[in-house]
Every structure is written in C-alpha cells, then in structure tokens.
Amino acid sequence: MQIKGKPTSLDIAHLAGVSQPTVSRALRGSPMVNEETRRRILEIAERLNYKVDKNASNLRRQHSGTLALLFFEDPTPDDSAINPFFLSMLGSITRACAEQGYDLLISFQQLSTNWHVDYEDSNKADGLILLGYGDYLEAQPRLQRLVEQGTHFVRWGAVQPGQPGISIGCDNFQGGHDIAAHLLAQGRRRIAFIGHASNHYPEFFERYRGYVEALRGAGIDADPKLQVDAVTTEQSGVEAIDELLARRAQFDAVFAASDLIAIGAMKALHERGLKVPGDVAVAGFDDIPMAGFVNPSLSTVQQDTKAAGQILVESLIRLVNGEPVESRTIPVKLMLRRSSGAP
C-alpha cells in the first residue's frame, strides 16, 4: 500500500489489520493492547515515519481516550470497601470501554473530600462514571457542581425529574411492587420493609413506594412499625431485625431493600430461633452473586448489570461527543428462590 501525503492512524490500522482505536491505544502505550499487536503497529508507524504529537492531538480533540470509574466507598466486612453489586457491574463497564476504544481509570470517591476537583481542569479523563453516592441530598450539590463546571458524567442511580446530570437506573418502583406482590401471593400479610424510605436514599424510597402500592392493591395499609431504616450492609439487616423484635412488631415476611440487608436479616432470624421461610419469608433486591449461595437461597430482584454497564459507557461517550443523551430506566426481573417459599 502506497501512502499519498502525510500518513494517518487510519493508514496504520489498515496495514496492521486492526481498528483505528487499537492504533491509538497502542501509540499511547495502553496496556489494553497485547505486546505482539503493539510491536506490529509501532513497526508500521516507524516505517511510515508517522509521528505522534500527543499534546497537539489532545488539544485538537480535547479527548484523553480515558474514562474514569469512581466507586463510592462503602462499609464492607472485607477490605474491598466496594458494594458487591457494583463489583458485578465492573466487568461489563470494562468490556464496554474496550469495545469503544477507551481506557478505564478506576478510583474511589470519598464524599468527605472534594473528589470532583481532581477532574475540574485536568485531562485525566474525558468523563466520569459514578457508582454510588451515599446520602443523595448530601451528594446533590456536588453533582450540581459537576454540571456547572461542564464535566461529562453519568451515574448509576434513581431516575428522577430535575436531577443534576444523566442517570441510568433500574425500575426500582416496579421491582419493589413485584417482589412484595410475590410475598403476598405466598400468603404473607405482615410484610416488613427494611431500608430507608426517604429522599435521602431515592432508590430505596422507590422500592418502598412499590411495596406500599402492592400492599394497597391487596387491601392492606402499610404499617409504620414494619419499616426500619437500614443502609446496604449485613450488619444493618441484623440490627433491623432486632429493632422489629424490640418493637414487638408482628411480621411474617421481610422485604429488604438490598441483598446484603436481606442476608443479615436471615442471619439474625436464624440466631433468634425463627425459620426462613417457615416463620418469616425473606426477599432482597440486586441479585448479587452471593444471593444464590446463602442457605436458604435468597429470592430477590435482579438488576441487569451487563446492560447497565453497556448503557453507562455508551451514554457517557455520547456526552463526550456532544450528542444528545437522556436518563434511562432498565427493566428488572424477579429471581424467586427458597427464602420466600418459592419452589
């Protein structure tokens, strides 16, 4: 192949038999390109006398070719400090970035610090994916700050009108409704809800609202004594069961706003001599890998982490490219197992 004029990365891609994004990654030293492919690309670039002016390239495109994934630091019993639900989303985000020719930078966002300042005027990443944010009302001003400074970002969370930026989330209301309707169909009438039911935690609140709607459809009023605040940890599930018992609340089922809460609740019920699902049926939300391996296996609401990762990456790249993007809600699916009395 004879090159007319100044060689381009597209010329190198054609000669190397790879995509143009692969050439770009190889030339900037990305570890996503294997050594043999990198060597072939560099040899062709040298033969064509192709020179990369990285500073000029970045100034022209205003792109670093990197996306940043920021995990909110969660309390966990191990050293990961990452909610296992978000860990399950990591693989799909990584694959989606690779398919789109982007590198992925992963770090923690500690909301006690001004983590967003690191990206305000830097070229670390073209955009941010945020997983988790703690108390939404506390995080909201920081999200608004990202909007004001023109940062491209998407987050996994509740999809609500008037919220800062773009959110991708599951149908929390429908999931809460469907799992509560399942417990009702099992003959349970005193269903406790464990999880925050306020705007501070909008995903949990939507799940609670769905639960209330399912009860209402069965002619049952939600009993405030059967709602206990909890965050996404097993310990919160244990403490919530203790609180229900201390209130002398009568309950024959528990809908926990997350699988970790549900697993903690099952542990507490077992330690206090109550059988699951014989005495108390239990259901969670998320379908983390552990849900299928606890005893009894946990009925839950599955969030599609594969689709979520793909949509988060695609939406962020569209933002980076100046294309229109809207917040999106992903359907959920019931995963019925033994903890709720399912066969």
Q: So what's the pLDDT on residue 111?
A: 47
Cross-sheet strand order for the sheet of 191-194? 227-228, 191-194, 253-256, 281-283
pTM to 2 decimal places: 0.78
CATH number at residue 100: 3.40.50.2300
Average pLDDT, integer, range 49-69: 62
Distance CA 280, CA 303 (A): 24
CATH code for the domain of 25: 1.10.260.40
Q: Is the pLDDT of residue 108 over 60?
A: yes
Three-class SS of residue 263? helix
Residues 213-240 have a mean pLDDT of 96
Q: What digits encode the pLDDT tens for the residues 270-318? A: 999 999 999 999 999 999 999 999 999 999 999 999 999 999 999 999 9
Same domain, 130 and 245: no
Per-residue H/E/C for 119-135: HCCCCCCCEEEEECCCC
The answer on 105 and 83 residing in a single domain is yes
Task: Report if residue 3 sits inside a domain.
Answer: no
Q: How confident is the model at residue 132 (pLDDT cuts 50, 70, 90)?
A: confident
Q: Is 82 among the domain residues? A: yes
The whole-chain average pLDDT of the chain stands at: 85
Res. 29 pLDDT band, cuts 50 70 90: low
Beta-strand pair 166-170/153-156? parallel
If pLDDT is split at 50, 70 and 90, which confidence band does 323 have? confident
Q: Which two tokens stand for residue 129?
A: 């994916």
Same domain, 88 and 164: yes
pLDDT for residue 57: 45
Greater confidence, 34 or 185?
Answer: 185
Domain assignment present for residue 217? The answer is yes
Q: Are residues 220 and 240 in the same domain?
A: yes
In a domain, 2, yes or no: no
Residue that wins the pLDDT comparison between 264 and 26: 264
Number of domains in the chain: 3
Task: Give domain status of residue 4, yes or no.
Answer: no
pLDDT digits (tens, 9 = 90+) for 61-81: 456 788 988 877 665 555 555
pLDDT (0 to 100) of residue 54: 46
Q: Which of 45-54, 109-118, 197-206, 253-262 has the lowest mean pLDDT?
A: 109-118
pLDDT of residue 50: 80
Residue 128's DSSP bridge partners are 68, 153
Q: Are 26 and 117 within one domain?
A: no
Same domain (yes/no): 80, 111: yes
Nearest to 182 by CA among 253, 262, 241: 253
Domain membership of residue 60 (yes or no) is no
On whether both 121 and 189 belong to a single domain, the answer is: no
Average pLDDT over residues 156-168: 88
Instruction: Give every CB contact of residue 259 below 8 A, 6+ residues apart in sequence.
Output: 85, 284, 285, 286, 287, 288, 290, 291, 298, 300
Query: Do 279 and 317 belong together in one domain?
Result: no
Mean pLDDT to the nearest integer, 26-40: 77
Q: Output Rg (C-alpha) for the chain, integer angstroms.
A: 24
For residue 286, is it within any domain? yes
pLDDT at 119: 52
152 and 177 belong to one structural domain: no
Pair 189, 205 in one domain: yes
Same domain? For 249 and 321 the reply is no
pLDDT at residue number 56: 41
* 12 in Cβ contact with 21 (< 8 Å): no
Residue listed under structure tokens 């630091």: 73
Residues 229 and 297 in one domain: yes
Counting residues of the chain whose pLDDT is more than 90, the rounded percentage is 50
- Would 59 be classed as within a structural domain? no
**Counting Cβ atoms within 10 Å, is residue 130 exposed (0-12), middle (13-18) or buried (19+)?**
buried
Q: Structural domain of residue 18, as residue ranges? A: 9-52
